[in-house]
Structure 1
Amino acid sequence: MRAAVLPAALAASLVLVPLPAAYAAGPAAAVPPAPTEAGPLRIHDIQGTTRTSPQAGKPVTGVPGTVTGVRAYGSAKGFWMQDPNPDADPATSEGIFVYTGAAPTVRVGDSVLVSGKVTEYYPNYGGGSQSVTELTGPAVTVLSSGNPLPAPVVVDTRNIPGTYTPLAGPDGTIDQVRLNPEKYALDFYESLEGMLVQVRDARVVQATDKYNELWVAADRQDQRSKRGGVLYESYREPNVGRLMVQQQAPASQQPFPVANVGDELTGATTGPLDYNQFGGYTLVAGSVGALRDNHLQREVTAQATDRELTVATYNVENLAATNPDAKFAALAQGVVTNLRSPDIVALEEIQDDNGSKNDGTVGASRTIARFVDAVKAAGGPAYEWRSIDPQDGKDGGEPGGNIRQVFLFNPQRVSFTDIPGGTATTAVAVTGTGAATALTASPGRIEPTDEAWTDSRKPLVGQFTFRGRTVFVIANHFNSKGGDQGIDSRFQAPTRSSEVQRIKQATVEQAFVGKLLAADQEARIVAVGDYNDYQFSPALAALTKGGVLRDLVNELPETEQYSYVYQGNSQVLDHILVSPELGYAKYDVVHINAEFAQQASDHDPQVVRLKP
């Protein structure tokens, strides 16, 4: 599941300083008289030297500026203007957004006077977003048209600081901390809020999405992935040069480049610097550089030998029987061609048979049958499958979807040991010792009534046999990062509230793995799935505690350690872990989705070749 990823085009709540208020489509205040002369304040006086304006909540009159950008579609209609006569303080922005609520009548190049109310707009106040200083309920006078625009600030390695964020103030936020744009990247961007900025020859680090957004690397010193992205390697060192790029005009009027990771926007991409809930600091481009195709190819994993057991994991992004044939075909092609038809495939995010319709349906046999048929149509094996239906509405995910994990297996290569007794609420246990170690239910669920799994997917465990040896496979989908504060939050350090539950989940699963190893120290265990957390996270540390499992992503070259791309960061959410007995483990993250504008899923699948 995607971790709190939503389109920037969606509206959020409007919050005014000092108190939150509901977002209103109309002006925030009564429209003042049209200004006839410049007032006492300039844009830099309104923006001030901190993130929130010293004039917040107050009316201002006759603020002069030149219109540098117009947004006439979406929920946040308005225009940007910039003072062509800046002050000498690098901390004070010379640009500001004027929220009109309706399509603005001004044009780029107009010299204007604006009266209105100074407002701090928090795209997601409760989620910790920073604010955007705006003028609302405006009265606008156009003095002249066709004026030259201020020169854009070129944002690149030369001026982006290497340190991401300042320390918080006494209130736990950076709202009132004086900006130091030469030392901190977040301060640097804030000091340019609303101003014209430019990136040149910018490498794409997150592909174009369906909302016509992409991400670029403005700083060439951020840690580069093997295929052109930027790697998220620790909480301590966020990549400083990531910027979202949108465009001012809708795609119907001005085509937006369809780019993959590693492509390049050559020349100049220029526009005002905005801030939004889903992308943080965003260059809203009036002009976009030309696309240079890097010809990124979808990977194909190495062919396994006959003696190698192959186990894969694939988050298929809310797959339901109601989805179009094209989605099933694309996912199946990935399994057959790119993963080379693994012996065992653990699928995450298989929805019930009517998808998000919330009517009590929990069975998913139609969804799975369509997937199995699509694999056969793509030239793959006749997979058999095992799963356990969840209780209705108890496992989180899209309401009504009842997502769950499912085992597919090739009966020509492996056998599944069916042991009755596994239900949505029955905890699987371990029985026997040594070579006779077995599950009490197969498939079974690990401690499904434990509070760790509240509103989250319960681990599915199955007992398989390959060439006479027992292999235990655990399919996982830990709770998502929804509700966490972003790395660009006004709260520093940001709170990762969802992490608490994942640590509990990891602790429960680690204890179960410990029971298997206590019964048989040579037990062959493979734990796979979407853990919704990083290889360096406390949750993965809890899961691998005591050496019961080793996380194979750490054995890849550093530049290949990612399975997902979020806010321009190539990062790890999916993992394959193995017990000590499985020393031979050839592991591969197969990059076929996350870096591409055309995706069958938002996750890349993974596969491991084992010799049990």
Structure 2
Amino acid sequence: MDNPTRARTVCAALTLALTASALAAFPQPAQAAGVTVPAIQGTTRISPYNGSTVTTTGIVTAVRSTGTSRGFWIQDESGDGDSATSDGIFVYRGSSSVHTSVGNKVTVTGRVSEYYPGGGTQSLTELTSATWTTQSSGNPLPAAAPLDDATVPSAYAPANDGNSIESMTLQPTDYGLDKLESTEGMRVSVADARVVGATNTYGELWVGVKPSQNTSAGGGALYSSYSSQNSGRIKVLPLTGSAPAAKVGDTLSGTTTGPLDYSSFGGYTLAATSLGSLATGGTAKETTAAQSPGQLAVATYNVENLDPSDPASKFTALAQGIVGNLTSPDIVALEEVQDNNGAVDDGTVAADRTLDQLAAAVSAAGGPSYAYTQIDPVDGADGGEPGGNIRQAFLYNPARVSLTSRPGGGPTTANSVVDSSGTAQLKYSPGRIAPADSAWNASRKPLAAEFVFDGKPVVLIANHFNSKGGDEPLHGRNQPPARSSETQRTSQAAVVNAFVDDILAVQSDARVVVLGDLNDFAFSEAVNTLEGGVLTDLVDTLPASERYTYVYDGNSQALDHTLVSPALSSYEYDIVHVNAEFPDQTSDHDPQVVRLTP
């Protein structure tokens, strides 16, 4: 399914509301005839002719003839010489057939509309309810505007105190987002572009046109601060067919050309009519070192909504990764473990079949015979995919570690710290941390359990903080974008930090590991709150180019973390890159492992 179709289907109702509210302040000119495409586009993100019926002429540069966002792009033959005004525009036909051809010179009459494909996005200027006549055929296409290191600025977007930048005059030589907006609808090209986001299930990938911009170890674009938006990222989606199966670090060799589109799923998109050839890079899936007999190996792995209805191949691939790439850790904290029938919403909350199947797959792959511990949530109370009842769980190798079982912890029972003659113990093991606290509304509750390795107790706290759903996109109209979801994650971090403080107040040298999918960055307020001046986030101990566990919209970023208490100062830590940079992902997250000498 093509990306514009996806955006139109998901966001049609929202678009109407956004269009009415966001454009109320803009003038609505009367009907105009003989208007050039650059004049329609104007020098801001909103057309000065928005809402008006206009007549314009251009060369058809590309046709989209499938899906629910059919139509064609036209481009002015010569342009107006103003770098702030785009020379191209999309003629939207919905599900109607498109009866024109590339190279036709057409005169189009249509209503100028600003289409918002989703919440917080920018708009796509287009012509709707259009009719057209063909003046001639076989015309040469306007030259494609190059998007490269020289033409795309390093700065990403102008700031406006979090407000809309729609009325601001475009500055394409100053901001990458303005440069892309000023070429919206035009033929553009990228040459020998490195892949910074692997090909996904929609047949699209991301390239970077600024080769030295925040390069990750795998060749991606590292997202290392809120001001490092990586302006050179551009999504590529072939206008017909799919992109080749590319991984981060590969290259689209030669020239990729097509009109520049826009959607809620990633923003500016090169709708490729011609695609460069794939040149394989050197990125390979990693394998971490095995733990020594005296090291406790602890991993965390988001297994992406795992349940028994998933194909057996997913369980096999996860198991092979745990055994082969993670070298059979002693304990694995799992996130996104679903109940026994996955997304079927029938009140099922048990996940024993899910975990049994994974444990069996690990054993079949030559790994240890893992046991597991977890707590079934209250049905529908923990967010995630409806009906799935995701939760955290611990796999552990009983030949290497033992679970200190203290029963009584249920889905709504709050765990606490017990002072046993100066030794900190969990009241319940496993047990959940403050499950009734509002910080966990519609979100996963942390799972704490006590293990013993080589005669030494270690407390593990597995987390899966709330998602970034609801945050405004980096490519949106409000700059800088609002990160509303961070408020809840910061509250969640404070609750977990307070629990760790309770442990350390009883026993200052207690061995505590806090780990999981925190859905936030090492530089975020949430993660800083979780550290609280006491815990060490091991992501920060790696070379900067290695600090990523996830790739989103071409940005390599760290969402998964392992934090340790001061007593655990002897460690070897590794993010094991096996998923996020590759088209054949077992999960969308990379796992990580720490080898501790308690």
Structure 2 distance, partners of 1:113, 1:285, is: 24
In structure 1, how many angstroms separate the alpha carbons of the residues matched to 2:6 and 2:562? 29
Matches within 5 A, 1:551-566: 551-566=537-552
Which of these residues, 416, 428, 442, is aligned with residue 455 of structure 1? 442
Whether 1:110 aligns to 2:104 is yes
Following superposition, the deviation at residue 20 of structure 1 comes to 5.6
Residue of structure 2 equivalent to 1:78: 71
Could you list the runs of 4 or more consecutive aligned residues of structure 1 that deviate by over 6 angstroms after TM superposition?
A: none
Quote the residue 2:284 is aligned against: 297
Give the unaligned 5+ runs of structure 1: 1-5, 22-31, 33-37
Letter in 2 for 1:112: V
Equivalent residue, structure 2, for 1:358: 345
Name the residue aligned to 1:583: 569
- Rounded to whole Å, the distance in 2 between the matches of 1:445 and 1:258 is 41
1:19 aligns with 2:20: yes
What corresponds to 1:601 in structure 2? 587
How far apart are residue 295 of structure 1 and its match? 4.5
From the superposition, tell whether residues 16 and 540 of structure 1 become closer, same or farther in structure 2 (CA, over 3 Å). closer
Provide closer, same or farther for how the CA distance between residues 17 and 345 of structure 1 changes in structure 2, counting only shifts above 3 A.
closer
- CA shift at 1:302, angstroms? 0.8
Verify the 8 A CA contact 2:18 2:116 in the aligned structure 1: no
Partner of 1:380: 367
Matched, 1:481 2:480: no
Aligned with 1:517: secondary structure? Answer: helix
Amino acid corresponding to residue 369 of structure 2 in structure 1: A
Aligned with 2:20: secondary structure? coil
1:247 counterpart residue number: 238
Alignment partner of 1:137 is 2:123? no
**Partner residue, 1:397:** 384
Q: Distance in 1 between matches of 2:441 and 2:133?
A: 56
Q: Does 1:183 align with 2:174?
A: yes
Q: What is the rounded CA distance, in whole Å, between the counterparts of 2:174 and 2:220 in structure 1? A: 24
Residue 80 of structure 2 is matched in structure 1 by: 87
Superposition pairs of residues 272-283 of structure 1, within 5 angstroms: 272-283=259-270
* 8 Å Cα contact 1:73/1:250 also seen in 2: no
Contact conserved, 2:8 with 2:117, CA < 8 A, in 1?
no
Taking the aligned partners of 2:227 and 2:208, their CA distance within structure 1 comes to 19
Matched, 1:574 2:573: no
Q: Which runs of 5+ in 2 are unaligned?
A: 23-30
Residues 464/322 of structure 1: CA separation in 2 closer, same or farther (3 Å cut): same
- AA aligned to 2:149 is T
CA distance in 2: counterparts of 1:17 and 1:340, whole angstroms: 50
Letter in 2 for 1:421: G
Is the 8 Å Cα contact of residues 19 and 115 (structure 2) preserved in structure 1?
no
1:53 touches 1:133 (CA, 8 Å); kept in 2? Answer: yes
How much does 1:173 deviate? 0.5
Percentage of identical aligned residues: 54
Per-residue deviation at 1:434? 6.0
Does residue 429 (structure 1) correspond to residue 430 (structure 2)? The answer is no
User: In structure 2, do the counterparts of structure 1 residues 225 and 91 end up closer, same or farther at CA, with 3 Å as the change threshold?
Assistant: same
Provide the rounded CA distance (Å) in 2 between the counterparts of 1:271 and 1:222. 24
Q: 1:223 aligns with which of 214, 223, 235?
A: 214
| Cα shift readout 1:56-103 (whole Å, capped 9, x = no counterpart) | 111112x10001111112221111110012112111100000001123
**1:336 alignment partner, one of 319, 323, 347:** 323
SS in 1 for 2:178: helix
Return closer, same or farther for 1:443/1:16 CA change in 2, 3 Å cut-off: closer
Determine whether 1:43 maps to 2:29: no
Q: How many aligned residue pairs are there?
A: 583
Could you tell me whether the CA contact under 8 Å between 1:417 and 1:463 is conserved in 2? yes
**Amino acid across the alignment from 2:446:** P
Q: Which is further off, 427-436 or 439-448?
A: 427-436
| DSSP 3-state at the match of 1:211 | coil
Structure 2 residue matching 1:507: 3-state secondary structure = helix
Compared CA separation, residues 247 and 45, structure 1 to 2 (3 A): same
**1:128 paired to 2:120:** yes
Match of 2:139 among 147, 155, 158: 147
| Cα offset, 1:491, TM superposition | 0.6
Aligned to 1:3: none
Residues 257, 314 of structure 1: alpha-carbon distance in 2 compared, 3 angstrom cutoff: same
Query: 1:581/1:185 Cα in 2 relative to 1: closer, same or farther (>3 Å)?
Result: same
Aligned equivalents of 2:561, 2:421: Cα separation in 1: 27
> Larger deviation: 428-437 or 292-301?
428-437
- The alpha-carbon deviation at position 421 of structure 1 amounts to 1.0
TM-score when scaled to structure 2? 0.95
Go from structure 1 to structure 2 and tell me whether the alpha carbon gap of 1:15 and 1:192 turns closer, same or farther (over 3 Å shift). Answer: farther
Q: 1:51, 1:131 within 8 Å by CA — same for their partners in 2? A: yes
- Conserved? CA contact 1:17–1:119, under 8 Å: no
Tell me which moved more, 290-299 or 173-182: 290-299
Structure-1 separation of matches of 2:489 and 2:319: 30
Deviation at 1:9, TM superposition (A): 8.1
State the AA in 2 paired with 1:97. F
Aligned residue for 1:329, secondary structure, equals: helix
Q: What CA distance in whole angstroms lies between the structure 2 residues aligned with 1:231 and 1:177? A: 29
Deviation per CA, 1:376-431: give whole Å up to 9, x if none. Answer: 01000000000000000000000000000010000000000000110000000000
- Whole-angstrom distance in 1 between the partners of 2:51 and 2:585: 44
Which has the higher mean CA deviation after the structures are superposed, 597-606 or 69-78?
69-78
What is the root-mean-square deviation of aligned Cα atoms in Å?
A: 1.6
Task: State the alpha-carbon separation in 1 of the partners of residues 181 and 124 from structure 2.
Answer: 9
> Displacement, 1:487?
1.2
Q: CA deviation at 1:276?
A: 0.6
**Aligned-pair CA distance for 1:296:** 2.6
Which residue of 256, 271, 286 corresponds with 1:269? 256
- Kept in 1: contact 2:457–2:511 (CA 8 A): yes
Cα pair 2:216 2:556 within 8 Å, conserved: yes
Where does residue 158 of structure 2 map in the other structure? 166
CA contact (8 A) 2:256 2:274 kept: yes
- Whether the 8 Å CA contact 1:312–1:605 is kept in 2: the answer is yes
1:209 aligns with 2:200: yes
2:332 alignment partner in structure 1: 345
* Residues 519, 559 of structure 2: 8 Å contact kept: yes
Work out whether residues 16 and 57 of structure 1, in 8 Å CA contact, stay in contact via their aligned partners in 2.
no
Which residue number in structure 1 is paired with residue 596 of structure 2?
A: 610
**What amino acid is the match of 1:426?**
T
Shift in alpha-carbon separation, 1:324–1:66, aligned structure 2, 3 A: same
In 2, Cα distance between the equivalents of 1:478 and 1:186? 30
Residue aligning to 1:498: 485
Given candidates 204, 219, 227, the residue that maps to 1:236 is 227
- Say yes or no: does 1:198 pair with 2:189: yes
Partners of 2:585 and 2:163 lie apart in 1 by 39
Match for 2:61 among 44, 65, 68? 68
Cα offset, 1:303, TM superposition = 1.6
Three-state SS of the structure 1 residue aligned to 2:459 is strand
Cα–Cα, structure 1 residues 376 and 10, in superposed 2: closer, same or farther, change >3 Å?
Answer: farther
